[in-house]
């Protein structure tokens, strides 16, 4: 064991070494060999340095062992070739990343294009449905209004408000609905037609004034406006009179004047 330059106490030191130290004025013990060469206050404690040195030696030993293990593991490898292959691998990874970025951009473009095409298709389908609705609903409504001599401009919006287009068995048809949107049926249990809807509207006070009824009654005047002419003759039956265009009170007046047989002879 090496002798230390200074000691705080001789305790624990072998007795045969006590003579190698002598006490100084501060009560510490200095190695006699150093007396006169280095003062006690100039001697540095190198205990920490020795400990650090020992640790460094151990680290160096560990590194050496690791280096040897790596040398054995990669024995026969060419460092330059390894470096070249590593550079190629890095370049390949870079190209893959670049291609992936291009694919991501392409995928975004394809998605945007698909979304745009879907929007165009939806717009086109909506236009086609609108045109089909106009043809399906408007055509039936206008035909019925013309048949019953209704004012198309005034009544068409009201008719369309009670009709919607539905798809049944692959075909689009006009269906009369109630205020809740449910299909209406007639007395026979069949779906109410647009023509029947217009006929109802003609008999309603709300819409009656928008119809030009050629057959009128009131004040005892029978249909045809003729009544009994001079000599008590019955009025002339208009040639264009139809049972379907007559409201209930006109039918009653006609039958009263001409009889039920004549009423049944009228075109439907």
Label residue 91 by pLDDT band (50, 70, 90).
confident
pLDDT tens-digit profile of 175-208?
999 989 899 998 888 999 999 999 999 988 889 8
How many Å is the Cα radius of gyration of the chain?
58
Beta-carbon contacts of residue 52 (< 8 Å; ≥ 6 apart): none
Which pLDDT value is given to residue 218?
Answer: 40
**Rounded distance between C-alpha atoms, residue 150 and residue 158, angstroms:** 12
pTM of the model: 0.37
CB 167 within 8 A of CB 175: no
Average pLDDT, rounded, for the chain: 79
pLDDT tens-digit profile of 103-156?
888 788 888 888 888 877 777 777 766 667 777 788 888 999 999 999 999 999
Which pLDDT value is given to residue 227?
Answer: 45
**Rounded distance between C-alpha atoms, residue 175 and residue 163, angstroms:** 6
**Rounded distance between C-alpha atoms, residue 4 and residue 19, angstroms:** 14
pLDDT winner (highest mean) among 41-45, 59-63, 68-72, 91-95: 59-63
**Rounded distance between C-alpha atoms, residue 229 and residue 84, angstroms:** 122
Lateral strand order in the sheet of 29-31: 6-7, 29-31, 21-23
**Rounded distance between C-alpha atoms, residue 122 and residue 119, angstroms:** 5
Largest interatomic CA distance in the chain: 176
Beta-carbon contacts of residue 138 (< 8 Å; ≥ 6 apart): 156, 160
Percentages (nearest 5) of helix, strand, coil residues in the chain: 55, 10, 30
Q: Which residue has the higher pLDDT, 8 or 216?
A: 8
159 Ramachandran zone, left/alpha/beta (phi>0; psi -120 to 50): alpha
Label residue 59 by pLDDT band (50, 70, 90).
confident
Q: Which residue has the higher pLDDT, 214 or 67?
A: 67
**Rounded distance between C-alpha atoms, residue 23 and residue 132, angstroms:** 121
The arithmetic mean of pLDDT across residues 25-38, rounded, is: 76
Torsion sign over Cα 29, 32, 34, 38: positive
């Amino acid at each position: 064991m090496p002798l230390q330059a200074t000691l705080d106490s001789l305790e624990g030191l072998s007795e045969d070494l006590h003579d190698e130290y002598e006490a100084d004025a501060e009560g510490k013990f200095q190695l006699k060999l150093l007396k006169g060469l280095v003062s006690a206050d100039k001697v540095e404690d190198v205990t920490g340095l020795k400990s650090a040195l020992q640790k460094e030696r151990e680290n160096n030993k560990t590194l050496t062992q690791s280096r040897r293990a790596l040398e054995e593991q990669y024995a026969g490898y060419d460092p330059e070739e390894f470096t070249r292959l590593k550079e190629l691998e890095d370049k390949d990874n870079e190209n893959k990343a670049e291609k992936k970025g291009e694919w991501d951009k392409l995928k975004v473009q394809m998605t945007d294009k698909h979304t745009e095409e879907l929007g165009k298709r939806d717009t086109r389908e909506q236009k086609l449905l609108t045109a089909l609705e106009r043809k399906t609903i408007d055509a039936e409504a206008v035909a019925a209004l013309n048949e019953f001599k209704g004012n198309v401009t005034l009544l068409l919006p009201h008719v369309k408000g009670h009709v919607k287009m539905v798809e049944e068995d692959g075909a689009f048809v006009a269906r009369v609905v109630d205020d809740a949107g449910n299909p209406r049926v007639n007395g026979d249990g069949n779906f109410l037609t647009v023509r029947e809807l217009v006929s109802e509207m003609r008999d309603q006070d709300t819409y009656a004034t928008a119809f030009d009824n050629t057959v009128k009654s009131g004040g005892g005047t029978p249909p045809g406006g003729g009544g009994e002419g001079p000599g008590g003759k019955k009025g002339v039956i208009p040639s264009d009179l139809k049972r379907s265009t007559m409201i209930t009170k006109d039918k009653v007046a006609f039958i009263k004047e001409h009889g039920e047989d004549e009423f049944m002879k009228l075109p439907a």
